Structure 1
């Protein structure tokens, strides 16, 4: 098996079109065979169905990636079209009664994975409305196609809506020197601060001028507005209609059925449970921040997101002795990337071999991944880590190919937007987090079934392995292996300890912010309010640590409303599990091979071949609990 041979950027349009046509045709051919002359053996029938998934997945994965990263607009547009075609065929196949009868009549195979696939396949048919009337199934097809279009439109608007704030250089006092050097004033004497992360994050953290912080924050929060307001309202209505047509009370109930949490109402209960647990820690830390804020704004009683990051950093610097600008001098991007590969290679017994291959952009760095123990070629990863026009604006792992034993190697892509120079430590943590998804994809890409390949667990578990990997970005001995200043001096352990304490300082604030996002995600879908802004403000008042900035509409660029829909709670649900899993590691020896190997083999490598709760229990030797998270939050 060899990795995918990607075309040159100028040849990608024809390649993507050809790949889509061939993959869709092959899937239809296989489906026709199942209808007309299905294999007599249940396992062979399931293998044919899984081959259809592989063909469609190969089209959809490449299309999703290229729609978000390719520099040519016509390629992005064609890729979005290919995604729609795949979704249309998936809906068609899952609503096909003749195919359903083939699978409904199968004897449950003795092989447990084949039996698991049959169970999930029958569930997919039911959730697609295979047992509904012709009229209902036709409407479901229309809804699914329109939802794909809306999801693409929502993401595209956010991706392309890069806003700018233009200010005189003196108003940027407080910004890091390397940032200022990289952003000279233009002919008009003004410096451009964009809403891309390498500009907006440091501006909101470091600029002394409150007016600049506010302008940058408002520009950031207003991305996607007003266009996405109508997009989202239509999306929520269609999701609700879809759920009702297949027998569910609402979209959250439909969506939660296939997740660990199980039911829609359980989402609301979980959000309030976390909000209550975080209330005391939030108020304790917020009081400190507001007290510092009042030194500059006498009489101030509330703080907005335009000032929160700045004053949290002041508290960390003045009271906790952590200067974020000093911290960032230890995190040169090139050293961090090399360190990430070294750390994860050592932890999981992997070797990354840099390779020169054709990709969609010159920024992309590619590596073949090998298992150290036997030099087995496990897959390929591509790192696309810097911002550019037309590129996805957040941080995520994209699949290029799913790995299936004897069929194809897994390939994954990390898509982020980091500085090319010095990095904030928060961004280092994000890089470790997202790389956790990439490792999960590669390590779980060697099973027999496409359905269970890669990050194929329940959606509210997928963040847990990545959140746990963040812990290695907070350990002094780990960081000292790659974090060094311009003179080559490693980051002091004392500074890392202070960084950890400073990060813990705001964890209650962060938890409540996450619950605001989760509540918005859930309530928008459950209630489908006519006035999204008004409902957002109400939920912000109830859950968030900061007050609303009048006239802003952050939901219009909250990209998780597309992919995560009503389930943004999953980040915190996963964190509960991540904290419990990390409790199995010895903090004095994070590279201990026995526990790291057990975690790799019990949690990551199986992919979706077991329920997530069983994977965690296999690793911990017991079911996961809330205890480790609660203790961490209260500390």
Structure 2
């Protein structure tokens, strides 16, 4: 059976299409719910299938709304999508608090169910309980109010980050040090000044390469002030509502509620993990920070600390001087178009896939490209790549679901949303592209199962980054890079340069780990302590964990979008990295495309989606439980 992809709207009718799509999807789901209430299926498997169809309908509404709310060029379309998202979330909350539905599922007999169906029944019952289905009517009503408000605040928080693009106006001569292609694409305006925005393709090169310290500081401060002050009040309300929700359904705090369905299991284990990583990174951090300060003191005699307005610039100087790695030379090998095609070629070879451009696909912007993903000649999914910045678009890098893949029912469709340069790329951005594409592959490869609940990237949330972090390794291998990383004359990147790049990248990993733990600590303690002054609390945590000094007048938390999405669980990036390093240990570094291990990884870790616990998927691939050893060895070297 050939499954057809979703037909997206043209720009002219996008708003009406979004509203109709949401209305019809919710109506179908509501009708199925009414049928389920009035005439429950006779068998448990039929009950689960009907519930799964309800989930598919509502998931489709939410996925389309979430994507287009973050990428569509028209503000009125984005607003309609946000409204649709709220409506779908409201209905999901209503269902999970429906006692009559809960009693139907609680009475279901699991005898004879296969492992995936039995898992779905357990997860569904747990959803009901976590939503407060067994509480009194007034409490359930309050939980509904909280969930609706949380959705609205999350949208407002993200919208502010997305739309708050700040600018610094600079005389051209003060931009000395920037790559020529960057300067060529930023001509002086009528007043003789150049505009530098806080979008990544502008701000990152400015912070890395500009010789003028005052310009670097202006750009850094503007970047760290995004979202403030308006997002501070939203975060205060967000944390308070999450705490209220968690306590109403029987948890000590939000972190405990959130961790209960993750690999870590207990909220109290989060600060323990943070401190374990911080302790492991302490020695490497001090070693590398001293090298950074040593170079910094040559320009700023007597300096005892450095902050992020200068750290990126001096990291580059250390890498140039100690490892002979010039980031501006490196970027000449990473033309965006070549990198994109190289990514497709590499992942296709690794996982036995091919990508077929879909020239006539309806897209929301003319820079978006679509590809059908084929395995053994058969289409298994469709992907969309939206990779360059524009006004009103999501500002970071993420994979968005468009449709969950279900065997014989629905094609897996996903979207990669990033903000990369249209010309030459920094290698860090190449690594980011591989990382995010890892999520997209996970979504598509896990799109051939039976159940919506387990389709795509549906593992525990503290595992979802591990496959993507592991795929980054292919963006560091010289043999891999030489297949697409070529300069203007067609010469591939030299292997010895890649080796030096790798050595240079190892510089700073200790203090980068500590910086990540600063972010993780902020995400955890903001939710558990709910401080009255977020800036003061951030400063205290930065001093405890981060090697870099606080910059007066900045409020980084106001644009830290993960406080909405990851909530108290930003630790998951490092938790996943520990697992990713162990996963990669199974690959032969001299033959990263070895078909046996790549195929086994694809089939045992990616393809199952959420049908099993992540720890079991990893153990099935490795032949043993995962350990901390590979990460610790990498950090120490």
Q: TM-score range by the shorter chain?
A: over 0.9
- Note the C-alpha offset of 1:358: 1.1
Residue in structure 1 matching 2:164, options 153, 161, 165: 161
Question: Which residue in 1 is equivalent to 2:289?
Answer: 286
Question: Which residue in 1 is equivalent to 2:373?
Answer: 369
- The answer to whether the 8 Å contact 1:46/1:118 transfers is yes
Give per-residue Cα distances to partners, 1:171-203, cap 9 Å, x unaligned: 000000100011000000000000000000000
- Note the C-alpha offset of 1:20: 0.4
Question: Which residue in 2 is equivalent to 1:189?
Answer: 192
- Note the C-alpha offset of 1:10: 1.7
Residue in structure 1 matching 2:106, options 104, 107, 116: 104
Whole-Å Cα distance in 1 between the matches of residues 14 and 208 of structure 2? 40
Question: Which residue in 1 is equivalent to 2:269?
Answer: 266
Question: Which residue in 1 is equivalent to 2:530?
Answer: 528
- The answer to whether the 8 Å contact 1:43/1:109 transfers is no
SS in 1 for 2:381: strand
Pair 1:327 & 2:330 matched: yes
Alignment of 1:23-422 (within 5 A): 23-110=25-112, 111-356=114-359, 357-371=361-375, 374-422=376-424
SS in 2 for 1:469: helix
Give per-residue Cα distances to partners, 1:476-509, cap 9 Å, x unaligned: 0000000000000000000000000000011101
Whole-Å Cα distance in 2 between the matches of residues 109 and 401 of structure 1? 31
Whole-Å Cα distance in 2 between the matches of residues 392 and 291 of structure 1? 38
Residue in structure 2 matching 1:612, options 611, 614, 617: 614
Runs of 4+ with deviation above 2 angstroms: none
Deviates more, 1:581-590 or 1:105-114: 105-114
Whole-Å Cα distance in 1 between the matches of residues 472 and 154 of structure 2? 29
SS in 1 for 2:268: helix
Whole-Å Cα distance in 2 between the matches of residues 93 and 197 of structure 1? 41
Whole-Å Cα distance in 2 between the matches of residues 6 and 348 of structure 1? 28
SS in 1 for 2:608: coil
Whole-Å Cα distance in 1 between the matches of residues 261 and 228 of structure 2? 32
**TM-score, L = length of structure 1:** 0.99
Deviates more, 1:101-110 or 1:325-334: 101-110
Pair 1:580 & 2:582 matched: yes
- Note the C-alpha offset of 1:109: 4.0
Question: Which residue in 2 is equivalent to 1:438?
Answer: 440
Whole-Å Cα distance in 2 between the matches of residues 281 and 60 of structure 1? 43
Task: Could you tell me which runs of 5 or more consecutive residues in structure 2 were left unpaired when the two chains were aligned.
Answer: none
Whole-Å Cα distance in 1 between the matches of residues 84 and 292 of structure 2? 49
Task: Could you tell me which runs of 5 or more consecutive residues in structure 1 were left unpaired when the two chains were aligned.
Answer: none
**TM-score, L = length of structure 2:** 0.99
Whole-Å Cα distance in 2 between the matches of residues 60 and 68 of structure 1? 12
Whole-Å Cα distance in 2 between the matches of residues 12 and 274 of structure 1? 47
- Note the C-alpha offset of 1:318: 1.1
- Note the C-alpha offset of 1:11: 1.1
SS in 2 for 1:224: coil
SS in 2 for 1:122: helix
Give per-residue Cα distances to partners, 1:531-564, cap 9 Å, x unaligned: 0000000000000110000110000000000000
Alignment of 1:447-458 (within 5 A): 447-458=449-460
Question: Which residue in 2 is equivalent to 1:632?
Answer: 634
Question: Which residue in 2 is equivalent to 1:538?
Answer: 540
Whole-Å Cα distance in 1 between the matches of residues 178 and 503 of structure 2? 24
Give per-residue Cα distances to partners, 1:102-128, cap 9 Å, x unaligned: 000000142111100000000000000
Question: Which residue in 1 is equivalent to 2:483?
Answer: 481
SS in 1 for 2:513: helix
SS in 2 for 1:319: helix
Whole-Å Cα distance in 1 between the matches of residues 461 and 8 of structure 2? 29
Whole-Å Cα distance in 2 between the matches of residues 400 and 15 of structure 1? 15
